[in-house]
Structure 1
Amino acid sequence: MHDSSTRSISLEVYTAFGLKIASELELPELIPAASGVVEDVVIRQADLTEWSEQLEQTHFMIEGESFMFHVPGTAIYAVRGGKEVEVYVYHGADPDTVRLFVLGTCMGVLLLQRRILPLHGSAVVIGGKAYAFVGESGAGKSTLAAAFTQAGYKIVSDDVIAVQATAFKTIVYPAYPQQKLGLESMLQLEALQENKHGRKTNHGLILMDGNPAMPKHGHLRKLTGELNKYALPTVDSFHNEPLPLGGVFELVAESPKREFQREGELKAVIEHSLNMLECLHTLLFHTYRRVVIPRMSLGEWHFRTVARVARQVEGWRLLRDSSAFTASEIVHRVLDIIRKEENSYGS
């Protein structure tokens, strides 16, 4: 631990995940916080090389309230008590990769230490609520969120969704205005933008003409360590206020099979409503960095929190044809589901 009063290095203060984060490392992905705020979390550079040998033998270590892990050639990280992140950056390490793990694994573990549930997925604003899209890597979460933003909706988070559940409500805290998109998805969305015409729904214009086209991929930063993915800034389409969680959609990409055949027509997307137990299982499975939870002695808290969320919100599973580009169809399907849900509550 370090006494900030003895250090001359200035700290920039940012906001993300409902927290004020003071950092020695520049974090250009995050939104600067207002001056004079008191930080919740401090990110500092520190000499953590004494743990190098032990960390080389294992994926991560836990010492009391400290969680440490090692990324060869990049950095050693220590997340302490939900309040501090220490980083030892190896000489010659790529700064983008260093930040990738600060904003990913470090923030996921820090949220767990603060008893905030991190879900692995994207979240967008629909009708004044945040809707979470969870799923395994490659399921299409970020692509779907990008399709929503292209259609005029705001994004709350991509990759890590910070959720806090009380006995009476579940709140989603915004992350930061950046998405991670594959080149193929960006090109598909560009083509969709050029060819689709807007149509009215109860929630606004979908796939409307006149929206800014996706930036050309040549101007985007490729994410080191991410297979053919690029950092896509989303400042203009980012919602930076907490919102109630409206529902959870699990995306599952599957090869076409008999289940997709309905009345002689091949459907690209099939929906299933989840009961409370299915929703609970989905949230447990798609918790970000869930493998570390037992080692952090958070199993009971994790189950209790997820059960609370599953009781308060509705869940759906969307099976999509992995051989087709289905983002636009899923956007329409999701909006239809939400509209029907709202109508059923209003009737």
Structure 2
Amino acid sequence: MPALPRYACFDFTFDTDVPLGELREAAADDVRPIVRIRHGNVPAGLEGAGAAEYGVSAAGSRALLDVPETARYLVESGERITVATCPDASPRNVRLFLLGSALGILAYQRGLLPLHANAVVVDGGAHAFSGPSGAGKSTLAAHFAKAGLEVLCDDVCTLSFDASGAALAWPGLPRVKLWADAASALGHDPAALEQAIEGQAKYHVPIAGARRDTAVPLRRLYLLARAGEGEAGTITRLTGAAAMAAVLENSYRHEYLDVLGVRAWHFARAAAMLRHVEVWQVRRPWGFGVFEEAASRLAAHLRS
């Protein structure tokens, strides 16, 4: 029986029978922890689990993610994910939740902190961009990639921590997800791109030259927001409770923290992270007509 393919993403390598061709193959000498992903039987519930929240239930080191009409994902001990697909489920959507919500659960099980953010590398440090859906995170990442910056990850920025508590950002999926209008504005033809999710005009844009296998120290977290009509763009430092709230509210799948039993751990880890990471709020004028100017201003701030 031929060996299963192994892929590299975040602080893991995946040994998988679920096709994940959007990921990079792992090098033969990659020493990151192996996560095994298999198709298989997954129970409808977990013995000893409390009520499900947001489709997630947990008992001990096991967590169950149930996505109706798509799949059930059993995540165990941060080491294994078993996938039971629903009849007629879209393979694209099965991969979407596997590489999103299920990996978020796995990260928490492994003691990693996933942010709902993308990140670029400037002068040897990672600068992450977070904010609500529609804030322009991925559009900004795609713009920076086109301008020659190294994009480390999109949508999920997974952090590990060294002995001092400093955060290290890991390379993620080698693509960004863009709505059709943003893809067109950045010079891509949506018709030539892979659709990200069935029924939505959102597409995967590959990141050219994504080859990094090592983590990068996280230097800054930027929160993206729209400036009010007629309001000039601003970049403002956040400290104290405001900075802490930014990390807590922009952690990936933070709604799972209670059911996974990691709320207190998460708060302590965020507090330790903020001893090493600056948090800034970016309010930008909105619209493609002013996008270049706002992005250039932010790029200058990255290097300051």
TM-score scaled to structure 1, two decimals? 0.80
Which of 215, 221, 225 matches 2:194?
221
Which of 258, 282, 289 matches 1:318?
282
| Counterparts of 1:117 and 1:181, CA distance in 2 | 24
Q: Which residue of 1 aligns with 2:271?
A: 307
Q: Is the 8 A contact 1:165 1:308 kept in 2?
A: no
Q: Which residue of 1 aligns with 2:178?
A: 181
Aligned residue runs from structure 1 range 144-223, under 5 A: 144-166=140-162, 167-190=164-187, 214=188, 216-223=189-196
Q: Is the 8 A contact 2:130 2:222 kept in 1?
A: yes
| Counterparts of 2:211 and 2:290, CA distance in 1 | 23
| Counterparts of 1:14 and 1:46, CA distance in 2 | 20
Q: Which runs of 5+ in 2 are unaligned?
A: none
Q: Which runs of 5+ in 1 are unaligned?
A: 1-7, 191-213, 261-266, 341-347
| Counterparts of 1:182 and 1:58, CA distance in 2 | 25
Q: Which amino acid aligns with 2:86?
A: Y
Aligned residue runs from structure 1 range 77-92, under 5 A: 77-92=73-88
> How far is the alpha carbon of 1:255 from its aligned partner?
4.2
**Once structures 1 and 2 are overlaid, which stretch shifts more, 79-88 or 228-237?**
228-237
Q: Which residue of 1 aligns with 2:296?
A: 332
**Once structures 1 and 2 are overlaid, which stretch shifts more, 283-292 or 325-334?**
325-334
Q: 1:45 to 1:20 in 2, by over 3 A?
A: same
| Counterparts of 1:13 and 1:251, CA distance in 2 | 35
* Cα distance per residue 1:40-94 (max 9 Å; x no partner): 2110111125449x99997221122111122222111111111110100122221
Q: RMSD value over aligned CA atoms? A: 2.4
Q: Is the 8 A contact 2:8 2:26 kept in 1?
A: yes
Q: Which amino acid aligns with 1:169?
A: A
Q: Is the 8 A contact 1:181 1:230 kept in 2?
A: yes
> How far is the alpha carbon of 1:145 from its aligned partner?
0.3
| Counterparts of 1:90 and 1:63, CA distance in 2 | 23
Please state whether the residue corresponding to 2:183 is helix, strand or coil.
helix
| Counterparts of 1:99 and 1:79, CA distance in 2 | 15
Which of 16, 40, 45 matches 1:46?
40
Q: Which amino acid aligns with 2:34?
A: D
**How many equivalent residue pairs?**
299
Aligned residue runs from structure 1 range 102-181, under 5 A: 102-166=98-162, 167-181=164-178
Q: Is the 8 A contact 1:246 1:314 kept in 2?
A: yes
Q: Which residue of 1 aligns with 2:251?
A: 287
Q: Is the 8 A contact 1:276 1:311 kept in 2?
A: no
Q: Is the 8 A contact 1:147 1:327 kept in 2?
A: no
TM-score scaled to structure 2, two decimals? 0.90
Q: 1:325 to 1:103 in 2, by over 3 A?
A: farther
| Counterparts of 2:6 and 2:112, CA distance in 1 | 21
Which of 246, 262, 276 matches 2:219?
246
Q: 1:339 to 1:85 in 2, by over 3 A?
A: same
